[in-house]
Amino acid sequence: MDGGARYQQETGGTGVSRAMCGWLIPALLALEVCLVVALASASPAAHEFAAIDAHALAAPASATGSISSLSAYLVKPARNESECARAIFRWITARIAYDTSAASEGLDPDLVLSRRRAACMGYASLFKALAKEAGLKAETIVGHVKRVKPEMTGGPDLWENHAWNAVEIAGHWQLVDCCWGAGHCNERGRFTRKFTPHYFLTAPDVFIYNHFPNNPRWQLLARPLSRAEFLRRVEVGPTFFDCGLRLVSHPSRRIDAAGSVALTIGAPPDTFLIASLYQNGQELGEQCTFTQRCAEGFAIRALFPSQGDYVLRIFARRGDDASADYHWALDYAVHARSGNNNDGGFPMAYDPFLTHNCRLEGPLSRTLQAGKSVEVSLNAPDAEDVVVVTGDSWKHLPTQRSRFRGEIPVPSGDFVIFAKFASESAYEGILRYTGQ
């Protein structure tokens, strides 16, 4: 199978926006509920190429009749080899559609240009032809890519044929993947065009997370990875690097666990993470995962309802805008030796819990015994008040500095913990439990 048909879970290719926008209570008024290893720059910043990108996208039909005429148009205003390569990359990613039925035409760049569709080899052959016409040194690299798909959890390591390019810029070889830069295919194989500049001049130590060339030379690394090392690496996407994430506790993509797992992902202060658990292609629900800020970044917990194989998928967003989408960042393939339902899973955490850097010490079980008392303990650095709301009853938790801790009676049914943050005019819901 062509690696261009990789699966990238982004909910229709745009992102994941959870029902985590928070619960609001206008202060002192009636309740109103409104239920949300670090690497240097992976590729050049998009703004560096704004002008040449605009030029490439404005190519008139009269310039696209042949390899020579298109190349001449694309590189005409380029000031250096990087801009020459970028103009070619940008036009191809915008004008060539991914089509697996075109795989047999992959070695003919003229045919790719005329039909405007290609599989991975077609993208690579067209890039090479346009680059060489422009006087650049370029090569087509053949190899494999890997991925984890929820519907194939527990299967063998996925190892797909793929092709991309190397281009020499200022005397140094750089890596380019026009096919992956053009968009992605969903789990049904339907192509969605989505420009991804991450795959232009990608740093070799980043590119190797997904691409494994047949010839080790084209890893462009001082010490090339073996196939086994490549397959052990966690599968990450552009969001992982764009958000400055790093692997702290689990550097290998396969995890062997009992009924639960706890892992740590490094993240800068302006980045937020959520996680979802999949089995047999189905998302199991938010009760199976719990994410909160920790010293290194984020602590992520997952519970496995039964023995079996799972995908633990982590999404990220940058900035505290609750309406912004979370995008797929990385996957772990987990084998659970046993199941653990843990009283209905984890409590529901709403977006203010994350954006205000709250940390829950307990209880970590969603379902609590109604009629009993339970101690609630959490850190909420920006909170002025934390209250448990059940019907018309408000139970304020005692505080010592930023730690809120106190015993509460567990009501029957759902109940929510709210916080009044100094920067907000209303109380916001941060956690939801169920008493039964």
Please compute the mean of the pLDDT values over residues 414-425 and round it to a whole number: 93
Backbone phi, psi, residue 56, to 5°: -65, -40
Mean pLDDT along residues 376-397: 91
**What mean pLDDT is predicted for residues 84-93?**
98
Give the residue-averaged pLDDT of 16-25: 38
Q: What is the mean pLDDT of residues 45-69?
A: 93
Question: For the structural domain made of 348-435, what CATH number should be given?
Answer: 2.60.40.10
Share of the chain above pLDDT 90, in %: 72
Q: Do β-strands 327-336 and 254-257 pair in parallel, antiparallel, or remain unpaired?
A: parallel
Q: Report residue 6's pLDDT band, with 50, 70 and 90 as the boundaries.
A: very low
Superfamily of domain 244-336: Immunoglobulins (2.60.40.10)
> DSSP labels for 197-210?
GGGEEE-HHHHTTT
The rounded distance, in Å, linking the Cα atoms of 287 and 299 is: 16
Mean pLDDT of 107-127: 93
Q: Per-residue confidence at 158, pLDDT binned at 50, 70, 90?
A: low
The two beta strands, 183-185 and 191-193, are antiparallel
User: What CATH number should be reported for the domain whose range is 3-21+40-230?
Assistant: 3.10.620
For residues 116 and 96, the answer to whether their CB atoms sit within 8 Å is yes
CATH topology match: 3-21+40-230 vs 244-336 = no
> In this structure, are residues 312 and 345 in contact, taking their beta carbons and an 8 Å threshold?
no
| Residue 431 pLDDT | 96
Distance CA 156, CA 154 (A): 7
For residue 400, give every residue at least 6 positions away whose Cβ sits within 8 Å of its Cβ, in sequence order, or none: none
Number of separate helices (H) and strands (E) present in the chain: 10, 30
Domain extents in the chain: 3-21+40-230, 244-336, 348-435
Q: List, for residues 302-360, the tens digit of each pLDDT value.
A: 999 999 999 999 999 998 777 889 999 999 999 999 998 666 899 999 999 999 999 99
The CA distances from residue 354 to 330, 358, 396, in Å, are: 19, 6, 21
Contact between residue 313 and residue 391 where contact means Cβ atoms under 8 Å apart: no
Q: Which run of H or of E encompasses 320?
A: none
Strand pairing report for 348-349 and 289-293: unpaired
Give the pLDDT mean for 142-150: 74
Mean of per-residue pLDDT scores for the chain:
86
| Most confident range, picked from 104-108, 207-211, 393-397 | 207-211
Inform me whether the pLDDT recorded for 151 exceeds 60: no
**Residue 113 pLDDT:** 96
d(CA 386, CA 420): 6
pLDDT digits (tens, 9 = 90+) for 240-261: 999 999 999 999 999 999 999 9
The pLDDT of 59-88, averaged and rounded, is 97
